[in-house]
C-alpha cells in the first residue's frame, strides 16, 4: 500500500530488552519462569474459586475475573518476547503488531476498570455492610464485569484506529519488546502532535481517573475503620491492603508511561515489564499469601488432586 511516494512498512523490528547474548539467556530464563508462575498461580485461583462453595461471594468472583485478565495480559506479550529472546532477528509483521497493540490495551484497560470495581466492592462491604448483599447482587456483579470488558474494548478500538490511520513509511525499529501505542506512533512519517494528545488523553486519563477513584475508595475505608474497631473490619482491611499493593504495582507505571506526550526513553521498556509481567506474577502471590480462605481452598484442591 502506497503512502505518498513511499511504500508502507510491512514489518517492524523489535530491539528487545538487550542485545547481549548472555543477558538474553538470563532474561529468557527469568521470563519463562515468570510466565509459568502467572499461568499456574492464576489458574489455581480460578479453579479454587470455581470449585469451592465457600468462595462464592462477589469478592472472589471479581478475583477470579482478575486472574483471567492477568493470564490474558501476560499472554499478549510474554510468548512473543520469549521467542524473540532466542531469535537473531526480532521482526514482527505490521498486522501482528497492530493486533498485539489492540489486545494489550483491551485487556489492560479492562483490568483497570476491574480493579476499580473491586475497590468499590470493598468500599461497599466495609462502609455499607448492611446493604452489601443488595448492592453487590450477582446481577450487578455480572453487569459490572461486562461493563469492564466493554469499556476495555471501546478504549482499545479508539487507540487502534488512531494508530492505523497514520502513514508508516519508515523507520521500522521499535525500542521495546512488544508493540505499544507510544513506540509505534513515533514511527509515523507525519506530524503526530494531535494524535499524541488524543492518545495520552485517552490512556493517561483513564489510568489517572481509575487511580483517583481507588484512592478515594480506600480513604473512605480507612476513615470507617478508624471509627469502628471490630474484628471483621480489620479482616476486611487486610484484604484491602492486598488490593492496594496490586493497584500500586499496576497503576503507577501505567500513569508514568501514558499520561505524557510519547517519548523514546530506554527506561520505558523496563518500566513496561512491571505491569505486563511483574504485576500478573504478584497478584496470585499477594492474594493467596494474605488470604486464609483462598489458601484453605487451594489446600483442599491439592488434597483432592493427590487422591487421583
Q: Looking at 38-42, 47-51, 105-109, which range is the least confident one?
A: 47-51
Please tell me which of 41-55, 133-147, 166-180, 271-285 the model is most confident about, judged by mean pLDDT.
133-147
Phi, psi of 174 (to 5 degrees): -115, 125
The domain limits of the chain are 2-307
Measured distance CA(71)–CA(65) in Å, rounded: 10
Measured distance CA(143)–CA(133) in Å, rounded: 15
pLDDT reported for residue 114: 94
Strand ranges for 59-172 from DSSP E:
91-93
Count CB-CB contacts under 10 A for residue 300.
14
Q: CA-based diameter of the chain, in Å?
A: 72
pLDDT bin (cut points 50, 70, 90) of residue 149 is: very high
pTM: 0.88
- pLDDT over threshold 80, residue 301: no
CATH superfamily of 2-307: Rhodopsin 7-helix transmembrane proteins (1.20.1070.10)
Over residues 3-27, the pLDDT tens digits come to 444 457 888 999 888 888 888 999 9
Answer whether 79's CB lies under 8 Å from 126's CB: no
Over residues 268-278, the pLDDT tens digits come to 888 889 888 98
pLDDT reported for residue 157: 94
Over residues 82-106, the pLDDT tens digits come to 999 988 888 899 999 999 999 999 9
Average per-residue pLDDT for the chain: 84
Strands 173-174 and 11-14: parallel
Grid cell listed for 219? 480513604
Over residues 175-218, the pLDDT tens digits come to 889 998 888 988 888 888 888 888 877 888 888 888 888 888 88
Amino acid at each position: 500500500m502506497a503512502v505518498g511516494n513511499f511504500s508502507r512498512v510491512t514489518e517492524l523490528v523489535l530491539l528487545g530488552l538487550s542485545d547481549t547474548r548472555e543477558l538474553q539467556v538470563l532474561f529468557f530464563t527469568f521470563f519463562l519462569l515468570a510466565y509459568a508462575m502467572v499461568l499456574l498461580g492464576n489458574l489455581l485461583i480460578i479453579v479454587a474459586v470455581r470449585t469451592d462453595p465457600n468462595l462464592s461471594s462477589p469478592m472472589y468472583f471479581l478475583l477470579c475475573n482478575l486472574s483471567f485478565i492477568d493470564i490474558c495480559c501476560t499472554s499478549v506479550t510474554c510468548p512473543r518476547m520469549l521467542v524473540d529472546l532466542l531469535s537473531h532477528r526480532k521482526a514482527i509483521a505490521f498486522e501482528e503488531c497492530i493486533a498485539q497493540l489492540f489486545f494489550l490495551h483491551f485487556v489492560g484497560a479492562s483490568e483497570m476498570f476491574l480493579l476499580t470495581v473491586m475497590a468499590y466492592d470493598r468500599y461497599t462491604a466495609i462502609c455499607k455492610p448492611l446493604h452489601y448483599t443488595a448492592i453487590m447482587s450477582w446481577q450487578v456483579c455480572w453487569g459490572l464485569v461486562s461493563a469492564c470488558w466493554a469499556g476495555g474494548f471501546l478504549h482499545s478500538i479508539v487507540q487502534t484506529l488512531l494508530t492505523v490511520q497514520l502513514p508508516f513509511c519508515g523507520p521500522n525499529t521499535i525500542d521495546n519488546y512488544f508493540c505499544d501505542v507510544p513506540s509505534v506512533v513515533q514511527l509515523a512519517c507525519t506530524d503526530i502532535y494531535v494524535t499524541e494528545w488524543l492518545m495520552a488523553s485517552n490512556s493517561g486519563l483513564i489510568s489517572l481517573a481509575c487511580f483517583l477513584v481507588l484512592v478515594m475508595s480506600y480513604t473512605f475505608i480507612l476513615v470507617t475503620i478508624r471509627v469502628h474497631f471490630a474484628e471483621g473490619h480489620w479482616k476486611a482491611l487486610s484484604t484491602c491492603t492486598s488490593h492496594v499493593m496490586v493497584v500500586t504495582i499496576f497503576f503507577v507505571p501505567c500513569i508514568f508511561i501514558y499520561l505524557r506526550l510519547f517519548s523514546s526513553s530506554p527506561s520505558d521498556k523496563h518500566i513496561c515489564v512491571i505491569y505486563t509481567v511483574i504485576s500478573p506474577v504478584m497478584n496470585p502471590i499477594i492474594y493467596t499469601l494474605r488470604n486464609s480462605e483462598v489458601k484453605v481452598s487451594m489446600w483442599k484442591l491439592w488434597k483432592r488432586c493427590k487422591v487421583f
